[in-house]
Amino acid sequence: MVGIGIDGAGREGDTPSGKTRDALRAAHLYYLQDLTMDAIAKELHTSRSSVSRLLSHARATGLVEISIHSPLDLPSRLEQEILARHEVSAHVVPVPDHASDVDRLERVALSAARILSRFIDSNQTIGVAWGSTMSAMSRHLAPKATHNSEIVQLNGAGNLRTTGILYASELLRRFGDAFGARVQQFPVPAFFDDPATKEAFWRERSTRRLLDLQAAMDVAIFGVGSPFAEVPSHVYQGGYLERADFEALSREGAVGDVATVFYRADGSTDGITLNTRATGPDFAVLRRAPRRICVVSGRAKLPSLRGALAAGLITDLIVDEGTARALVETSAGAPAATSADPA
Amino acid sequence: MVGIGIDGAGREGDTPSGKTRDALRAAHLYYLQDLTMDAIAKELHTSRSSVSRLLSHARATGLVEISIHSPLDLPSRLEQEILARHEVSAHVVPVPDHASDVDRLERVALSAARILSRFIDSNQTIGVAWGSTMSAMSRHLAPKATHNSEIVQLNGAGNLRTTGILYASELLRRFGDAFGARVQQFPVPAFFDDPATKEAFWRERSTRRLLDLQAAMDVAIFGVGSPFAEVPSHVYQGGYLERADFEALSREGAVGDVATVFYRADGSTDGITLNTRATGPDFAVLRRAPRRICVVSGRAKLPSLRGALAAGLITDLIVDEGTARALVETSAGAPAATSADPA
DNA sequence: GCACCCCTTGCACGTTTGTTCACGCGGCTT
DNA sequence: AAGCCGCGTGAACAAACGTGCAAGGGGTGC
């Protein structure tokens, strides 16, 4: 873990070598002037291969940004529908219907990571949740230089590692690296065993500091959990919850969670006992963030997503096509089996 | 010249075929999800070649935008220098020093065209000059959809066609097409023979309307002319000016022109007789536009560029590297032979 | 209704690009 | 001082890509 140095640039002179500088120049020549890599190699006095690598570097480090604009007159039917019905600006990620859930998640996460750059800026406090979706995203973030921004962990994470899920610290670090932001860990388990412990903890000064940061978030990024789907997600695998917890959740009508806080199909949370032991932010706190980005992949999460929408947790939704379609198809008249969701 | 139609899209339905829609989807898959064209072909049920073409289309029509960000901490030394000395935000286009003038112009124009998109937006009045630089640019504009914008011709153009220079109408049309903007032609010669004719013309209602538009410009785009360079540009080739005119210009100390209006090294224009017959906007009018983008390529235009800077005509400068270097090198202490240019 | 034309498609080829490998240089350690 | 490690380089190969070409299909004009 050596310094994040400025890789040799920074000095005066006409051709101050330095990888980033070269990459920048190569990118200019390639993307703005349509030269072939061969031609660029000659101009930079190096080999084609190196130019190829420089360009990869340029893309990977966010020197080059590729964005896609719908021509305004035809934003996908789906995105319009979702906006109209849920007052949420949606980004539908095209994924073939037959794709596997893993594929789907991976592809949504990839797109989401790229789209995210638009929302991140300097001087922001950015709340990040934890889960397989976030984990996948973290692996693909397109770096974007910002100053004085801060990544805040939204909920505790215990320390168990399940397939494909990284330690929360690793996940957060990636977000921090990508945006050059400080990282604020939240070193608590996902759920306390005893609500009293949580309350005690919540009175700690160090905890308060973090909660204050959460309350001042500019952007929050999270997935949704769906405890009763066939393919249960993160929290439900790692042994964080016991059979009794699931039964209670089921009895109390929970359909999903955001950052360990559970809600019903209508978005309500009152009386869900598990929440007294959860470490994620109260929805009232979450909703203070002006931008709340939710990433969802897979129809299995539909009821959960619906609930999060009902709770008004989401301002920007990144979702795979199939799920988006299901969302608008059923929300018209026939409510899903799980809930009533009045238009 | 068939309709600019909406090429089949626009209907309801789940998979509303339509080239633009497909292109959009392909672009998503390619640029946001890193699929290969082969994979995309399968998802779209078409051939690889078609996908390649779709992506070309997507790029060519501005569905995909590729931009390059300097990491803020190291914007080229040159750009900083120019900003500091001339209060102009510069975009330096990397071009090898040994490139031919034609190459250089072409490459600067290409970059400029791509950069231009950032400056163009809806509801704007955009003034466009005429010349070999503008002509080259017009051939590479990256379309960007806008509403209710207007392209205004800055100066007359006669009707002669010299190498590589297109009729002004063609040039303007390209700008209009690229941005979906209305085009306002200015059907006058580049220079009147008699100042009186110009004045008469200027009193015409139709002319006034156009002049009013010019006065309300949001953006102006132009090159600079340098009548006394070895490779004289546009206006000086087409027989617009006679030997006597050149002599007068020389005698009166002119170093260059912007949109047919000439100026001295110190930016002054008073007493340059040719200007009474010129059709371009008075600098006072030009300077009303909040953004004034100047595209310059080739060291030969340096004195001319310097004068335009002195006249305060420029807010954004797009310039090739060699010229940029020359600009900052000499403006430090030793003024060019042609002028005194107090810092 | 038929013929024509233009636009689009997929194939095949040549080019361009990504990646693997072996090597060489410089810095740091022992 | 020698050795080791890691990084960056260029060559060679394999994959991915762009484009000329001939064929097919839909619409238009006669």
> Where along chain A do its domains lie?
2-67, 72-329
Beta partners for residue A65, in sequence order: B67
Q: Which of A29, A34, A68 faces B31 most closely, judged by CB atoms?
A: A68
One DSSP character per residue, A237-259 reads: TTT-S-HHHHHHHHHTTEEEEET
A128 token code pair:
């990040």
The stretches in chain B having pLDDT less than 50 are: 1-17, 159, 161-165, 333-343
pLDDT of residue B2: 34
Q: Which nucleotides of chain D have an atom under 7 angstroms from any protein CB?
A: 8-12, 15-20
State yes or no: pLDDT of A51 exceeds 70: yes
pLDDT of residue B340: 42
DSSP structural state of residue B174? H
pLDDT of residue A235: 52
Phi, psi dihedrals of residue B264, rounded to the nearest 5°: -95, 180
Kindly list the distances between the CA atom of residue A270 and the CA atoms of A20, A174, A190, A214, A313, in Å, as whole numbers in the listed order. 52, 34, 19, 21, 15
Cα A148 to Cα A134: distance, rounded to the nearest angstrom:
22
Q: Which of A94-108, A148-162, A257-271, B75-89 has the lowest mean pLDDT?
A: A148-162
Task: Measure A47 CA to C7 C1' (Å).
Answer: 41
Answer for the pair B218, B152: CB distance below 8 angstroms, yes or no: no
Tens digit of pLDDT for each residue in B50-68? 999 999 888 888 888 888 8
User: Quick one: which of B79, B177, B126, B85 has its CA closest to A28?
Assistant: B79
Phi, psi dihedrals of residue A148, rounded to the nearest 5°: 60, 35
Burial class (CB in 10 A: 0-12, 13-18, 19+), A117: middle
pLDDT of residue A77: 78
Task: Measure A52 CA to C24 C1' (Å).
Answer: 21
pLDDT of residue A79: 85
In this prediction the pTM is 0.82
With bands split at pLDDT 50, 70 and 90, how would you rate the model's confidence at A227?
confident
Cα B297 to Cα B291: distance, rounded to the nearest angstrom:
20
Answer for the pair A192, A201: CB distance below 8 angstroms, yes or no: yes
pLDDT of residue A10: 35
Task: Measure A140 CA to C23 C1' (Å).
Answer: 32
Which residues on chain A are in Cβ contact (under 8 Å) with B94? 25, 28-29, 43
Residue nearest to nucleotide D18 (CA to C1'): B52
Asked, colleague to colleague, whether B2-67 and B72-329 share their fold, the answer is no
Q: Which of B24, B70, B74 faces A70 most closely, judged by CB atoms?
A: B24
If you average pLDDT over residues A46-75, what whole number do you get? 84
If you average pLDDT over residues A96-106, what whole number do you get? 86
pLDDT of residue A186: 85
With bands split at pLDDT 50, 70 and 90, how would you rate the model's confidence at A332?
low
Residue of A nearest to B63 (CA): A69
Give the up-direction half-sphere exposure of residue B160: CA atoms within 13 A in the CB hemisphere: 14
One DSSP character per residue, B14-37 reads: SS---HHHHHHHHHIIIIIT---H
If you average pLDDT over residues A207-221, what whole number do you get? 93
CATH 3.40.50.1360 assigned to domain A72-329? The reply is: yes
CATH homologous superfamily, domain B2-67: Homeodomain-like (1.10.10.60)
pLDDT of residue A234: 52
With bands split at pLDDT 50, 70 and 90, how would you rate the model's confidence at A168?
confident
Residue nearest to nucleotide D16 (CA to C1'): B36
Location of structure tokens 């007294």: A276
What is the rounded average pLDDT for all residues in chain A? 82
| The Cα angle at residue B74 between residues A57 and B224, in degrees rounded to 5 | 105
Nucleic strand D near CB of residue B48 (< 7 Å): yes
pLDDT of residue A62: 84
pLDDT of residue A335: 44
pLDDT of residue A108: 93
